[in-house]
Homo-oligomer: A and B are copies of this chain.
Amino acid sequence: MTVTTAVDLPSRFVRFAIENLAGSATELDQAAEHPLPQSQRFAEVGLANWWLAAEFGGLGIGMESSVDIVSEMAYHDTGFTFGSFLPILGTTMIERFAHPDVARRVLSQLGVAGHSCAILASEQQAGSDLTQTATTYRGSADGARLTLNGQKYFATNADRALYHVVLARDIDDGSEYRMIVVPRDTPGVRIHQRWSMTGVRGSATYEVALENVTVPVENMLHGNGIRVLEVGLNLSRTLIAACGIGIARRIRDLSMTYAQTTLVGGRPLHLNDVFAAKLGQMEAHIETMRTQCLAAGREIDELLARGGSADPLRQGTLRSAMVAKLFCGQITWQVASIGSEIFGGGGYTRDHPIGKLVRDARYIGVVEGGEDVTRALLYARYVKPASRRR
């Protein structure tokens, strides 16, 4: 990835969001068929996979700049935004850890056309503990091919993606985990069901079965699969966290609009001190979330700019990215909790946008590692080894 830090807020994304998402929240909440017209438009205007290098058809925008891009888009619809940036998890792994030929071919195909790639990691029994992965791969006798079998639980974009990147274990050596690139149209890849999610319904998440799915051995990424995944998760977790900024900003602005026209005790709500205290706290929440996401983005940009795959692999999950996810998950839920009270009875009807924002907000803290998992990982990686404490 060539990291280009855009100096200005990428106004093209803001414009896209206003023109294509702002009025579509209710429609996007319907969990419509994918690909969405908005996704097609996103690719048409050249914004899809914006983080890819120019050589692959992207805009080469780095993570620090992506934080505000995601915040601006999630302000209007978190589901669409999530579906749009999640391929970064796959492309990062492919760019860093795939055979150069595979990387070039895959990234070019994705970038030019705005296509998607999906990650198949979670499984029902394993829960959030990826070491319990039951999907296997088996090498062919001549060593040229790999055959995968398993069932993957939550895989966003899996149906429309050109490629899946699948976490599997060596059938002969359970301690060997690998990420493997699988073209979506490989025989044996079967969409089992699309989940009807509580929120982020502008994205599409699937359960996927892999039955004797065979790919060339070159499609295996180098490096321990769980570590490789951790490297990619640094990016996706940071951007998931950034969705929380957008949700909180939206709740703040809805609150302020409401406070202009609502009377409490005969006075406009925006003059009420208790309301002011809530909104002052909300602004502090927005600021600290954004600061943490930007810091994580910056650390990732610097890490990846140093090139190579050894350093990212060695570091694995970054403290800054884990904390961004944990923190924004907690804070976004707090903001949503307060927000869902501000609008009174009217806010408890489906006519009001706050209900969807609360549902979307819940996702930040749940996806890609809930709070318990994240805290335990922070403890194991960054507290127990005294030398890694800050």
Give chain A's interface residues, CB within 8 Å of chain B. Answer: 122, 124-125, 127-129, 132, 153-154, 195-199, 249, 252-253, 256, 262-266, 270, 272-274, 276-277, 279-284, 286-288, 290-292, 294-295, 319-320, 322-323, 326-327, 333, 337, 340-341, 344-351, 355, 358-359, 362-363, 365-367, 370-372, 374-380, 382-384, 386, 389-390
Contact = CB atoms under 8 A, between A and B. Distances in A.
A276 B376 contact: yes
Contacts of A371: 341
B367 A345 contact: yes
A375 B344 contact: no
The 6 closest A-B pairs by CB, nearest first: A280-B375, A280-B379, A280-B378, A276-B379, A196-B350, A287-B323
A79 to B, nearest CB: 12
Contacts of A286: 390
Given A277-B379, A294-B295, 19 more contacts: A132-B263, A195-B349, A196-B350, A197-B349, A270-B384, A277-B372, A280-B379, A283-B319, A283-B379, A283-B383, A284-B322, A288-B291, A291-B291, A291-B292, A341-B370, A341-B372, A344-B366, A344-B370, A348-B366
A281 B326 CA distance: 9
A160 to B, nearest CB: 20
> Which of A132, A283, A333 has the most chain B CB atoms closer than 10 A to its own CB?
A283
B340 A362 contact: yes
Contacts of A345: 122, 153-154, 366-367
A195 B383 CA distance: 32
Contacts of A349: 195-198
15 contacts: A124-B346, A125-B263, A132-B263, A196-B350, A197-B348, A252-B389, A273-B274, A274-B277, A276-B380, A279-B379, A280-B378, A282-B383, A287-B319, A341-B372, A355-B359
Contacts of A262: 127
B283 A378 contact: yes
Nearest to A349: B195
A71 to B, nearest CB: 9
Contact of A274 (B263, B287, B372): B372
Contact of A256 (B288, B359, B362, B386): B386
Nearest to A386: B256
Contacts of A386: 256
A355 B93 CA distance: 33
B389 A253 contact: yes
A240 B264 CA distance: 24
A208 to B, nearest CB: 14
A389 B390 CA distance: 31
A127 to B, nearest CB: 6
A197 B350 contact: yes
A68 to B, nearest CB: 9
Nearest to A245: B390
A56 B351 CA distance: 40
